[in-house]
Chain A
Amino acid sequence: MLEIIKLQVRVGDFEIFVKHVKIERKDYMIIVGPTGAGKTILLESIAGFYPPIKGEIILEGENIVEKPPWKRGISMVYQDYMLFPHMTVEKNIAYPLKIRGIDSDKKVKEIAKKLEISHLLHRYPGALSGGEKQRVAIARAVITEPQILLLDEPFSALDPETRNSARIFLKEFIEEAEITTLHVTHDFADAWILGNKMGVMKNGRIVQMGSVDEVFANPLDDFVAKFLGSTNILEGVVSGTVGAVTEITVNGAKIYTSDPAELHSKVLLSIRPEDIVISLTPPSTSQRNVLRGKIEKMRKEGHMVWITFSKGTLSLRVILTPNAVESLHLSTGKEVYASFKATATKIVRKV
């Protein structure tokens, strides 16, 4: 268990102050915050690189503030992974064991197998893809079974396609290995998919703390509120699969996604407002999802128009340009079609 009490750290002109954070064993805590919120400094303070002005960091009942980083039993993975370029993958992973004088051969092989990087052991980090580097970094960080694993934006260096599968992979690995994790990110999808607890950080302070569902249901901070307001989050049940497409029933309507999911499981879907097309007649394009409904609300905001589209109890937020609104003669109550691709519909979390 890790507990942070009234921790104050100053790095240059920047200061973070954390009143109280508690991470139970096997928790996966995500701290979300915009760039410059002090998330990396928070992790680095926990790891022990900056001496705090005051406060306590209590790990398994012991205040570790005075301990040097190498005696804390806390591993940290930076966003660009920091694999030692002069060592092979194998030597990188074995390094923490080598320091402790532990025979590493068997353990390295074991963890490499779990993380599916056995075939990379003899390569140098320069010859790895982003996703491979990430797995090597995680292997190296957890091989000594640290009390807590700190992850600094672990997916930001990956391209969007590998990011999603890397998230699922990491989630499964960490759940199975039962590693207590503190993960900072500016990407809400990390919180949806990975976290069970969540904090929101801004200007060096933690402004909200709770379970992921609590924070998303009742956002105190406008950073979270803005994110939630800007994307459509729908809860549904998987009702079938058609080829490579999954059918999900949401409030009686059928929505198709290209993400796989187990039949009859409950899922959360996200659809970005800009991915939805509004038309007066059924679209002739290959959009998989076509819903007939009416315009519930219209609101002009800056140069864009926000529209609330509804079909029965299902409602979607859509963003359009004023030109589009004008050429379609849209008005409140008008019957329209809303369409979007199956690939634009993402399963963000299994409920």
Chain B
Amino acid sequence: MKEETFPFLIIFLTAYFFGFWVFIFTSLLLTIYLLWKKRKWIYMGIFILSLLYWIFPILGVASIVLLLVLLEKDNFYRISYFLGSLFLIFIIFPILNLLLHASPDVLKDLSLLHAIGVSFLAATVATLIATVFSLPLGYVLARKDFPGKDIVESIIDMPIVIPHTVAGILMLLVFGSTGIWGEPLEALGIRFYYALPGIIVAMLFVSAPFMINQVREGISKVDERYEYTAMTLGAGRWRVFTDIILPQIVGNIISGAINTWARAVSEFGAVIMIAFYPMIAPTYIYYLYTNFGLKTALPATAFLLLITLAIFFGVRFIGRRFKNA
């Protein structure tokens, strides 16, 4: 049976931080629901105790404690629920709090929309590049043993620990206008410094490890004897890869792509080092905040948060449907 105690506690505790009226209203709803469900008058106490908030906010906590005590008998769970929900509130509350500042007016801010567009485009391209290159690399790592394999695997994880600004400077040094790769490429017309390709390489550098690791893990879970069997049935190497390996690692590619995209779209430090312009969404927020102050930055920030979360949940939902199918 699913127990409601933990979600109720999270909701109640979140409401507490939104002030008297939200708290009282939530406690009223919870009390009515519990009275109807459990048919015991003692649950009235939750609403009555919540009114103490009016005298002094901290006293409102008494009703949260009562809810916990009434719904859960085991002390270990009582404490785990309480501390667990406090930690969740640490994530939920700031997010909800910022969303209060959302306003449709920001849709008139074309610079913001453009910055979001650049962000999504660059993150998507970085994810596609990461996917394409992760397949051969992941295959080699999953199937072959070689001297120094540990070192190669550590190299792949290195971008995760390198501070973002440092990562940005690494990219700037090689892809910048005078960089060892940047200079000849710029001569060919592909400019990285203060340009979209620069944003993409910075994002790719910090986010690719997520994709590589997922693909490698997926392939190593596909028994090599599937490949052997397919070969005896007449499939050459490439066919084996597309017919036998790829369909079995779709789930890994999807979750790798979600993580890679999420990591890329949230990158800021590495990107501004090589390309402050064209602005990506985080750069634009930073620009608003440093030039016009917090108040001006808030609506745009709330909007960016909202749209990022919407995409995050949307993709997660689709990914899960796909995995189940």
Contact = CB atoms under 8 A, between A and B. Distances in A.
Contacts, number: 58
A49 B233 contact: no
Interface in A141-188: 141, 144, 146, 150
Given A84-B244, A85-B248, A86-B248, A76 B234 contact: no
Please tell me the size bucket of the interface on A: 20 to 34
Nearest to A91: B243
Interface string B189-230: 000000000000000000000000000000000010110111
Interface string A39-76: 00000100111000000000000000000111010111
Nearest to A46: B232
Nearest to B240: A70
Nearest to B248: A86
B25 to A, nearest CB: 49
A169 to B, nearest CB: 21
B232 A69 contact: yes
B231 interface: yes
B320 interface: no
A84 B232 contact: no
A75 B232 CA distance: 5
B163 interface: no
Given A86-B247, A86-B248, A99 B234 contact: yes
A49 B234 contact: no
B236 interface: yes
A35 to B, nearest CB: 17
A293 to B, nearest CB: 51
A98 to B, nearest CB: 9
A69 B239 contact: no
Nearest to B228: A49
Contact of B233 (A48, A68, A85, A140): A140
B235 interface: yes
30 contacts: A47-B228, A47-B231, A47-B232, A49-B231, A68-B236, A70-B232, A74-B232, A75-B232, A75-B233, A76-B228, A76-B229, A76-B232, A78-B225, A78-B228, A78-B229, A82-B225, A82-B226, A82-B229, A84-B244, A95-B230, A95-B233, A95-B235, A95-B243, A96-B233, A99-B239, A100-B234, A140-B233, A141-B233, A144-B233, A150-B232
Q: A-B pairs with the 8 shortest C-beta distances?
A: A69-B231, A96-B233, A82-B229, A86-B247, A76-B232, A99-B234, A70-B231, A70-B234
Interface of B: 223, 225-226, 228-236, 239, 243-244, 247-248
